[in-house]
Amino acid sequence: MNSNSTGHRIGRATARWGFLYLAVALSACTPAGDSRQHTTPPANRAAPSSSASAGGPPCTPSVDTLPAPPAGYRSVGEDVAVPTTPVLSAEDSGEADPAARLFAKWGLVVRAGTVVDLRVAPGWQDKARLGWGGTGTPASTVTVHACAPESGQGQWMAFVGGTWVAQAACVPLIVTSNGQNDSVTLGIGLPCDKTTEP
């Protein structure tokens, strides 16, 4: 085995683990009108199943499969992971909805084979929106169906999307999976210790 082949494999592995960091880091320089267009998996990635499981919702388009949530992510309940970044950069979104004036792009990581609901907490329905997978419009409640990849490999699925807000804020979200509700807050445009409740 030559050193070029080994270096190529190491580079691919580094790119895989660094993908979600890149999605977050690029949010500050991605044009607002382009924020939901990067949902096609790269050719060298294992693409997940695009078919719905029997009787379930359609699969949400994902961009990668992972063996575990990457470094820089924290678990919310058993089936979801979100960034640990104290502040997710928010830029003008170009959306007409006043509750979606700013957009923070970040990757959502969901356990393969699960369906999760994410919603903004009560009192935030007019202040924040959510969306992943490039489908539909930003909404106060979204369902992500992380269909298991056809290859059977990868225990977690990564989705491109993010959070829209009327103004920079610490946004409380509620995640529901397997009948259990879990709460998490995300600093959109400012850290959570610098904002007040609605």
Residue pLDDT, tens place only, 121-136? 999 999 999 999 876 7
The percentage of the chain sitting over the pLDDT mark of 90, rounded to a whole number, equals: 61
Closest CA to 19 of 157, 168, 151: 157
Confidence of residue 148 (pLDDT cuts 50, 70, 90): confident
What pLDDT does residue 70 have? 95
The percentage of the chain sitting over the pLDDT mark of 70, rounded to a whole number, equals: 68
Residue pLDDT, tens place only, 13-45? 333 334 333 343 333 333 333 333 332 233 223
List the beta strands (DSSP E) in 2-101.
64-66, 73-76, 80-83, 91-92
- The domain total for the chain is 1
Q: How many CA atoms lie within 13 A of 39 on its CB side?
A: 20
Q: Is 34 exposed, middle or buried (0-12, 13-18, 19+ CB in 10 A)?
A: exposed
146: containing domain: 3-194
Q: What is the mean pLDDT of the chain?
A: 77
According to DSSP, residue 121 is labeled: P
pTM score of the predicted model: 0.71
Residue pLDDT, tens place only, 50-66? 444 455 678 999 999 99
State the average pLDDT over residues 159-187: 96
Distance CA 119, CA 165 (A): 13
What pLDDT does residue 11 have? 40
**One-letter identity of residue 8:** H
CB 114 within 8 A of CB 178: yes
Residue pLDDT, tens place only, 74-123? 999 999 999 999 999 999 999 999 999 999 999 999 999 999 999 999 99
Distance CA 190, CA 165 (A): 12
What pLDDT does residue 152 have? 66
